[in-house]
Structure 1
Amino acid sequence: MTENSSKFLWRSFQRHRTYLILTCLIVITVYNLSSFYFTIPSEPLTAYEFHETNPPPIDLYLPLNGTFSDSVAEKELRKVLDERTYDVPLHTSLLDWDRRIELYPKALMKTNWTNELPFGESLYFAKLQQICMTKKDAIIRSITPIQMQMESSFTDALVFKNDSALLSVLRDCSAIDVYFPEGLRGHGYCEDALAYLRGLKTRLLPRWVFTETFYDAADDRNLTYFEICPSTAVLFFNHYWDRLNEMEKWQERPIYLMPNIEMYELNAEHLWRSNVVLAKTVDAYQRITKWYQQNGNPRSTVVFYTRHTTSNIATISRSLVNSIEKDFDNVQITHTPGGSCQKNTHRICSCWERDSSMPSLDIFLDPELLRWEALSRYPWRRTNHSNYKLYTKDLSSRDYSDLLAHSAFFLCPSKMEGYGHYINQARAAGGVIITSNAPPMNELVTSTSGILIPVLNESSEKQLLGGKYGVLFGLKNAPGIAANVHSSEICEAVTRLVSKTSAKEREMMSQEAKKQYAFDTNFFLHKMKIIQTFAMENIAKKSELLTEN
C-alpha cells in the first residue's frame, strides 16, 4: 500500500469517525430530551369530567315595580334572570351559535327602573368612589341606608389597622368577603369593588387583613382572619390572588372569581380552582361556560350571569344643581379614555385629522397615554385645533361629574373591555353613546340607546377565552375578543349621528340609555342577593356536616 493510499484511508476513517460521533451525540440528545419530556406528566387533552355550571334555583322576591307587576313582565323578568336563557348547547360551538337574546325586553322597559335606585344611595357610592382611590390601606365595609345619610357615613365605612374597633369589625363575618389589595385601588377596580360592596353587603379587605394577627384581650391571644371567619368565601378579581389561596390556613375556603375575560394573565387554573364564577356580560358567561364544557369542571363550579353596575358619578353635580339640561341639538362629543390604550383614541385622531367637518370634540386623557406609540406619532397631539380640544390634567370627582352631567354625546369605540365602566357612567348620565358593535360594548349600548360602529373581530393567542389560545386548555372554536375598529367607520358613525338623527331622537336615545343602566343595576343587585343566599346556604350545609361528624 502506498503512502498516499494510507493517508487517504486514514482521512476517510477520521471523517467517518466524526460522522459517527455526531450521530451518536444526536441520538443521545434526542433520547435525553424525550426522557425529559416523558418524566414530566403531560396534560391530558381533556383534563376533568364536565359538571353542569348552572346555579341551583333560588327564588327570591322579584324586583318588579308595583305599577306593572303583571304576568307578562314577571315572565320576561324570570327569563332574563335565568342563566339557562344564555346557555349554549353542549355540542354547539360559539362560532356556530347565532341565537340573539333580547337583553332589554320591551315589557320590562315600560317602567322607570330609576325609581328603584334611591338618589341618596347613588350619591353616597359616587362619593365613595373617590375615597376608595385615596384610602388604599383601609377596610371598606357596608353601612346601612340610614348611615349613608349621616355626616359620619364615610368615617363609619372606613376601618384602619390601628382602629380600636378593628377586631369587632372583623368578627362581623360576611358570607363573602372581597380581597381588594392596595395596588388595585384605581378607577376601574374601585368601581367593581364598590358594586360588590353595595350588592353583597360585605367588606373590601386589603392584604394585611390576611397576613396580620389581631389581639383578643378577652382570651389573651392573637387571632388570624382565618380563625375569625373560618367559613367566609373570598372573592378575587381576575388573577390578583397574590397566592392567598396557597396559604396553609386557607384550607378549603370557597373561592369566588370575577374574571375580565380579555386579560392575558387569566389561565385555566384560575377557573378550575374557583368554586363560583361571576360573569358580568353574556359574552363572558357563554365563553366561560363553554370553556368548562370543553375542559372539565372538577369542583362543580357554578357560573352566575350577574350583569354589573357602575357608580352614577353625575349625581354629585345633580345634588348641587336643581336641574341640568343636555343640549341634543348641537352635537359636541366627549371622549374619556383616561389612561387606557384600548379605547381606540388613535383611530379617533386619524378620523378628525382627515375630516375637519367633524363636530367639536373634547378629549380627556392621562398624560402618560401620549407616550403610547400608536398615539405619539400623531401631530394631532397638539392641544388646540379648529374642531377639537385635548385635556391632559387629572379631573377631580366634581369636575368629572360636571362633565358627565352636561355632556350629551360620548364617543367610546373600545377595542375590548372587561365591562366598560366609562360607557356605563355615560349611560347613567343619560348620554348618547357611539361605541363598537362587539361585546361587551353592544350589550351596554343598543340600537335604541346609541350608535354602533361596525367592527372586525380579532383573536389573540394570549387570551385563554379568545378562541386561539397558544397553550393547552384554551377555549376552542370561538370568535376573537378584540374589536378592530377602522377610523373611517368611526367617522361614518359620527356622521350618521349628526345627519340622520333629530334632536328628539337623540333625547329618546338618552332616556333609553338611562333606563337600561337602571335596569342593569337592579338586575345586578338582585343577583347579588341570590349569590349571598347561595353562599349562606353553603355555609349552613358545611356547618351541618361538621356537626354530624
Structure 2
Amino acid sequence: MLSIIIENTIGLLNDALLCKYIFEKNNVKTIIINQKVDKINTDNVLFIEKIVEIKANKKLFLPNHELFKNNKQCEMLKDIDIILCKTKISYTYFENIKKDNNFMYSIIYTKFSTFIPKEMKIKSRDIVKDKNLYILFAGSSQFKNVAYVVKNWIDNNYYRHLNENIRLIITCWGRCFNYMIDDFKNYLKYDCDVFNNKENKLQIGNITFYKEMIPFEEYNKLLCIASTAICVSSKEGFGHYINEARYRNTFVITINHPPMNELINKNNGYLIDSFEKIDQNISFTEFKLYTVYPDTKELTKAIEYSYGKKVETRKDFKEDLKYMKNIYEKEVIKILKI
C-alpha cells in the first residue's frame, strides 16, 4: 500500500489525486492522508510538498521547490528514495542539493499535469468559446499579480475598444486579496477604495470580482467557455489553472519565466518576455523567491493579441499527461515493487 501525505489545499489535493489515479491504474493500492494525522501505518509513502517523520519501506517526495523549507526538511532528504520533479527548475534545484550533501536519492523529471475529475471532463467537439470572456482565477495564493491585471484592465478603459461586450472574471480571496490590496497601496499607488465593499461579489466596470470561492458548477462552466486565461505569475501556483485551461483549448497568457513557461509556448499562448524581478524577503523557504511583475505595456499587447485567438492546447495537455503516466509506470512503480 502507498500513502500519499499532504496538507489540505486545492493544489496539493490535485497533485495527490493525479498520483493516486496513476498508481491505482497500475494496481498499487493508494490512500490520501492529511499530514496532521498522528499515526500512519504504510508500506510506502509519497510526501507532497512537506516531508514528515514516518517509517516506510520506500519514501517518495513530490516537492514544490519554491516552498521547500531547508534545515530540518533538507536533513530528512537523506531518507528519501525518489524525488519526483514536475518542472525542470525543480529538478536542477534538488540535483544541486543532492551534490552538496552527498545524498543518495534518485531524481525523476515527470512534467507537470493535472487531474481532471469525471464531472469536469468534456469532449473537444463540445467546447464552445466566448471570445469576450477573460478569466483570472487566482484563488488564495498571494503570488498571482492580481493588482497589476486589474489596474491594467481599468487603465485600458476595460478593453472596450476590442468589443463592448468584453468582460473579465476574477477570483481572489484570503492572502491573495490582502496582497492585492498591499500591491495597490505600496507599489502601484492606486486608489483601491472600491474593494472596501464588504460584498463577496463586486462589479467594477466590466470586471466581476469574487472575494470567495465560486460554486463548482459556475467555475467549471467559466473554464469551458472562457477564451483567454490570464496567469501572469512566474510561480508554480498557476500550474493547475493553466492545465485546466489547456485541457479546454483556452488561450493562456503567462510570463516567460520558469516554471510556468514549460506549459505554454508561443504556439498555444502568449509568453510575456518583459517583466520586473523584485527580491522577496521570505524567510521560511530556502529557494530564492522573487516577485515577477509583468511589464504593463507587454500585458496590454498580450491581451489585445489574444482577443479572438483559437488554439489547440488540449493536445499539449494530453501529451504531458501521457509522458507523466509513462514515467510513473516505467520508473516510479518499478522501484516501488523492488
**Fold conserved (TM > 0.5)?**
yes
1:255 deviation in Å?
2.2
Counterpart residue number, 2:303 = 494
Contact map agreement 1:404 1:429 (CA 8 A) in 2 = yes
- Secondary structure of 2:107's counterpart equals strand
Partners of 2:158 and 2:295 lie apart in 1 by 18
Q: Partner letter of residue 31 of structure 2?
A: R
Greater strand proportion: 2
Counterpart residue number, 1:464 = 286
- Secondary structure of 2:12's counterpart equals helix
Partners of 2:298 and 2:154 lie apart in 1 by 14
Instruction: Tell whether 2:154 aligns with 1:353.
Output: yes
Counterpart residue number, 1:523 = 323
Q: 1:313/1:398 Cα in 2 relative to 1: closer, same or farther (>3 Å)? A: farther
Q: Write out per-residue CA displacement over residues 232-280 of structure 1, whole angstroms, 9 at most, x where no aligned residue.
A: 2211122252xx33xxxx3x74321111111152443243342211100
Q: Give the 5 Å matches for 1:402-421.
A: 402-417=221-236, 420-421=239-240
Of the three residues 74, 77, 85, the one matched with 1:271 is: 77
Q: Which range moved further: 232-241 or 342-351?
A: 232-241
Q: 1:393/1:211 Cα in 2 relative to 1: closer, same or farther (>3 Å)? A: closer
Q: Which ranges of structure 1 fall in alignment gaps of 5 or more residues?
A: 1-173, 213-224, 467-479, 538-549
1:426 deviation in Å?
1.0
- Secondary structure of 1:325's counterpart equals coil
Of the three residues 107, 117, 126, the one matched with 1:303 is: 107
Partners of 2:264 and 2:69 lie apart in 1 by 28
Contact map agreement 1:199 1:524 (CA 8 A) in 2 = no
- Secondary structure of 1:493's counterpart equals helix
Partners of 2:297 and 2:171 lie apart in 1 by 22
- Secondary structure of 1:533's counterpart equals helix
Partners of 1:312 and 1:339 lie apart in 2 by 20
Contact map agreement 1:318 1:324 (CA 8 A) in 2 = yes
Q: 1:418/1:396 Cα in 2 relative to 1: closer, same or farther (>3 Å)? A: closer
Partners of 1:179 and 1:429 lie apart in 2 by 29
- Secondary structure of 1:332's counterpart equals strand
Q: Give the 5 Å matches for 1:23-38.
A: none
Which one has a bigger Cα radius of gyration? Answer: 1
Counterpart residue number, 1:334 = 135
Q: Partner letter of residue 303 of structure 1?
A: I
Counterpart residue number, 2:162 = none
- Secondary structure of 2:243's counterpart equals helix
Partners of 1:234 and 1:313 lie apart in 2 by 23
TM-score, structure 1 length as denominator? 0.51
Q: Write out per-residue CA displacement over residues 487-525 of structure 1, whole angstroms, 9 at most, x where no aligned residue.
A: 343223212324xxxx4xx22x2x1x1111111111111
1:361 deviation in Å?
1.3
Instruction: Tell whether 2:9 aligns with 1:186.
Output: yes
Contact map agreement 1:314 1:429 (CA 8 A) in 2 = no
1:367 deviation in Å?
5.9
TM-score, structure 2 length as denominator? 0.81
Q: Give the 5 Å matches for 1:469-480.
A: none
Partners of 2:218 and 2:337 lie apart in 1 by 41
Q: Partner letter of residue 296 of structure 1?
A: N
Q: Please, what is the CA RMSD of the aligned residues?
A: 2.8
Q: 1:273/1:457 Cα in 2 relative to 1: closer, same or farther (>3 Å)? A: farther
Contact map agreement 1:349 1:380 (CA 8 A) in 2 = no
Counterpart residue number, 1:3 = none
1:186 deviation in Å?
2.6
Q: Partner letter of residue 532 of structure 1?
A: I
Corresponding pairs, count: 309
Q: Partner letter of residue 203 of structure 1?
A: I
Q: Partner letter of residue 306 of structure 2?
A: L
Partners of 1:444 and 1:338 lie apart in 2 by 19
Counterpart residue number, 1:40 = none
Q: Partner letter of residue 83 of structure 2?
A: V
Q: 1:364/1:209 Cα in 2 relative to 1: closer, same or farther (>3 Å)? A: closer
Counterpart residue number, 2:255 = 436
Partners of 1:314 and 1:431 lie apart in 2 by 19
Counterpart residue number, 2:31 = 203
Counterpart residue number, 2:246 = 427
Q: Partner letter of residue 274 of structure 1?
A: I
Instruction: Tell whether 2:115 aligns with 1:287.
Output: no
Q: 1:375/1:315 Cα in 2 relative to 1: closer, same or farther (>3 Å)? A: farther
Q: Partner letter of residue 252 of structure 2?
A: I
Contact map agreement 2:85 2:107 (CA 8 A) in 1 = yes
Greater helix proportion: 1
Counterpart residue number, 1:177 = 3
Q: 1:401/1:438 Cα in 2 relative to 1: closer, same or farther (>3 Å)? A: same
- Secondary structure of 1:384's counterpart equals strand
Counterpart residue number, 1:325 = 128
Q: Partner letter of residue 524 of structure 1?
A: M
1:481 deviation in Å?
5.8
Q: Partner letter of residue 386 of structure 1?
A: G
